[in-house]
Amino acid sequence: MKILVLSNKLPYPPRDGGSIATLNMLTGLRDAGNEVTCLSLNTSKHAFPVGQIPAALHKSIRMIGVPCDSSIRLFPMLSNLLFSDRPYIAQRFRIPEYTERLRGLLLQEEFDVIQLESPYMGHYLDVIRKNSGAAVSLRTHNVEHVIWKRKAANDSGLLKRCYLRNMAARLERFELNVLQQADCLVAISGVDAAFFRSTGYRGPVMTIPTGLYLDRYPETPLPSAPTIFFIGALDWMPNQEGLKWFLENVFGKLARQVPQLTFHVAGRNAPRRFARWLEHRQVVYHGEVEDASGFMKSYRVMVAPLLTGSGIRIKILEAMALGRPVVTTPMGIEGIPAENGKEVRVAGNPDQFAEQIVALIKDREETLRMVQDARKLVQQNFDTFTLSSRLSRFFNQQV
């Protein structure tokens, strides 16, 4: 099959969860015998020269990037709020240059499947329908409007809470409208698939979680020093919110019980105020790290204190694959079929969260047992080739 994937950011380099999810899906579909093209918005925020993508990858998957600036700007945001009923968070991905590049590509070639990598690419459905007879698949990395609803519910500022509620309502209408226009849905978790079904979607649905290549995640000895770590994009609101909750409600309890504890935080695009807020004598802020796996292997326990969000947290899967124990929240483990106490530790309040971390630092044998079970779970449920072969068969049924 000839498959065209439309993405709102270039999936290379694979430094964040979204990029990893997209790139692994692309390479998996390629390995399953498909001819794959990816047309991406090469945004100023995540800009990367397409010419610097490794030749071996570029030759096997055609990568096309359209330079654009999708930055959040105050005046367009206010104008959108006052004079539009569409969500600004989505509107900024409607780029005329991308429209023209897509139209030209569709006029030159025929594709069997066109996959929208997130509902934000739904802006281009009219171009697709006018210029192609391909089946359109919507792949959802999460339920976007639910993230905004949860953020609004947890925000303490009245004006900000009102704005977030307004944006969530707009985004819900937009997201569900894109869904109803898709020929099929590829959800990243069973929870998300069930949610979209509950909204009335009646088209074909396949749940395909993010896959990993296990040979890229070799097991290494567990560090003995009492260290914990967090890694994730720090321009993503749920990560900021979770880290703030952790430092305000959990970290002090930990520091009193484990005086030598150090907390290592890595992530890109942290706002200046948030980066300054991370300053603490027992917190080391690394900024964006080139080697995420190397960072994770350097420390003992991963913390993933997520309070909002949906989809699957890929960094949790990576930590499990690398043999690092994970302590997270019920929200953080959503979409991963792990059992509390077996492959992960799950805690819903600050006292429990601190207790779980302390237990994993002090009980080495239990920690080693847990990480072995966690790696097996990833191997059995998140192998890229297995998942992409399933997706390829699903697409064959739709064309």
Can you tell me which residue has the tokens 């914990």? 228
Express each pLDDT in 77-111 by its tens digit.
888 878 888 888 888 899 999 999 999 999 999 99
Where residue 309 falls (left for φ over 0; alpha for ψ -120 to 50; beta otherwise) is left
265 and 181: one domain? no
206 and 218: one domain? no
16 and 38: one domain? yes
How confident is residue 309, by pLDDT bands cut at 50, 70 and 90? low
DSSP letter assigned to residue 258 = -
DSSP letter assigned to residue 123 = G
| pLDDT (average), residues 126-151 | 90
255 and 165: one domain? no
How far apart (Å, rounded) are the C-alpha atoms in residues 233 and 167?
21
Run of H or E including 345: strand 345-346
pTM passes above 0.95: no
Report the amino acid identity of residue 184: C
How confident is residue 236, by pLDDT bands cut at 50, 70 and 90? confident
- The answer to which of 218-222, 234-238, 378-382 has the lowest mean pLDDT is 234-238
Report the amino acid identity of residue 387: L
How far apart (Å, rounded) are the C-alpha atoms in residues 154 and 166?
15
How far apart (Å, rounded) are the C-alpha atoms in residues 340 and 326?
10
**Helices (H), ranges, the chain:** 17-31, 55-60, 74-83, 88-91, 96-108, 125-131, 144-154, 158-181, 190-198, 237-249, 251-257, 272-277, 292-297, 314-322, 350-362, 364-381, 384-398
| pLDDT (average), residues 131-160 | 84
18 and 136: one domain? yes
Query: Domain span at residue 324?
Result: 214-381
374 and 233: one domain? yes
Run of H or E including 185: strand 184-187
11 and 148: one domain? yes
Express each pLDDT in 35-84 by its tens digit.
999 999 998 877 899 989 999 998 899 999 999 888 888 888 888 878 88
229 and 287: one domain? yes
Q: What is the CATH number of the domain that holds 96?
A: 3.40.50.2000
- The answer to which of 144-153, 175-184, 386-395 has the lowest mean pLDDT is 144-153
- Is the pLDDT assigned to residue 172 strictly greater than 80? yes
- Is there a contact between 93 and 41 (Cβ–Cβ < 8 Å)? yes
How many domains does the structure of the chain reveal?
2
70 and 136: one domain? yes
237 and 262: one domain? yes
10 and 136: one domain? yes
Report which of 189, 184, 164, 180 is spatially closest to residue 241, judged by C-alpha positions.
164
Express each pLDDT in 17-27 by its tens digit.
788 889 999 99
Report which of 318, 341, 334 is spatially closest to residue 229, judged by C-alpha positions.
318
